[in-house]
Structure 1
Amino acid sequence: MRKLFKQVRETSKDEKFMHLIENIEVLVSKVLSLFMVLVILTAIGDLGFFLFKELFTAPYGKFNTTLYKIFGLFLNILIALEILENITGYLKKHVLQVELVIVTSLIAVARKIIILDLEKVSGVDIIGLGVAILALSISYWIIRSTNARH
């Protein structure tokens, strides 16, 4: 009988500890969400300032050369939004959404390819990015087809 009461007390302690850990996870997720909103707002301000400066102060014909920087800034904001979606999705469901993580990773690698300066990178780097895109695409396809069956 004592053994049973001891097990019940230990189980109760474990449940309290796990509840504490869950509360800490939620608090950390909320703080991360607020910081990510701050990052997104700052990035939007940075993009607006950069666009204004390039549109009104850059000499004619130079805008095309900064277009890749603008695309990079847009994709940074998109990546930040995806990360915020990951965090808020975790807050709602308490589950990390693997599909969303893979999509975010694909966007990040696509951003890297878009802003890539081909004169400054080696062939190995390009092959690595290609392998990363292939692996992420296959992972996304597997996750999507698995989710479609359920």
Structure 2
Amino acid sequence: MKKLFRQMTTATKDENFMHFIENIEVLVSKVLSILMVLVIFVATGDLVVFLIKELFYVPYGTFNTVLFKTFGLFLNILIALEILENITAYLRRHVFQVELVIVTSLIAVARKIIILDLEKVSGIDIIGLGVAILALSISYLIIRLSNSK
């Protein structure tokens, strides 16, 4: 009888501890989502200021020279939105959605390629980015096929 009581008490303590841990996870996820919203607003403000300066205060015809930087700023915001989506998906379902993580990674690698200065990188860096894209694309394909079944 004592053994059964100890097992029930231990199980209750374990459940209480796991509930406490889950509450901490939810709290941290909420704080992260609020901070990510702040990052998105700041990045959007930075983009607006950058565009206003480049469009209205820089001599005409020089905007093409900073076009890739503009694309990079847009993609930064898109990546931040994807990360926020990852966090909110975790808050809804309490599981990480691997597909979202891979899509976010693909966007980040695409951003790197778009803003890449070919004069400053070596061939091995380009090969590395190519391998990363291939691996992420294959992973995405596998997950999409497994989710469709």
Report the TM-score, using the length of structure 2 for normalisation. 0.99
Are residues 1:41 and 2:41 paired?
yes
Alpha-carbon distance in 2 for matches of 1:91, 1:63: 41
Alpha-carbon distance in 2 for matches of 1:57, 1:9: 71
Aligned to 1:92: 92
Aligned to 1:71: 71
Are residues 1:6 and 2:9 paired?
no
Alpha-carbon distance in 1 for matches of 2:19, 2:121: 49
Q: Deviation digits for residues 13-69 of structure 1, max 9, x if unmatched?
A: 000000000000000000000000000000000000000000011112210010000
Q: CA RMSD in A?
A: 0.5
- State, as a whole percentage, how many aligned pairs show the same letter: 78
Equivalent position SS for 1:60:
coil
Mapping of residues 1-150 of structure 1, within 5 Å: 1-149=1-149
Equivalent position SS for 1:55:
helix
Shift of 1:75: 0.1
Unaligned runs of 5+ in 2: none
Alpha-carbon distance in 2 for matches of 1:40, 1:97: 21
Alpha-carbon distance in 1 for matches of 2:131, 2:45: 34
Give the number of equivalent residue pairs.
149
Shift of 1:3: 1.1
Which one-letter code corresponds to 1:4 in the other structure? L
Unaligned runs of 5+ in 1: none
Report the TM-score, using the length of structure 1 for normalisation. 0.98
Alpha-carbon distance in 2 for matches of 1:49, 1:58: 13
Which shifted more, 2-11 or 122-131? 2-11
Which one-letter code corresponds to 2:126 in the other structure? I
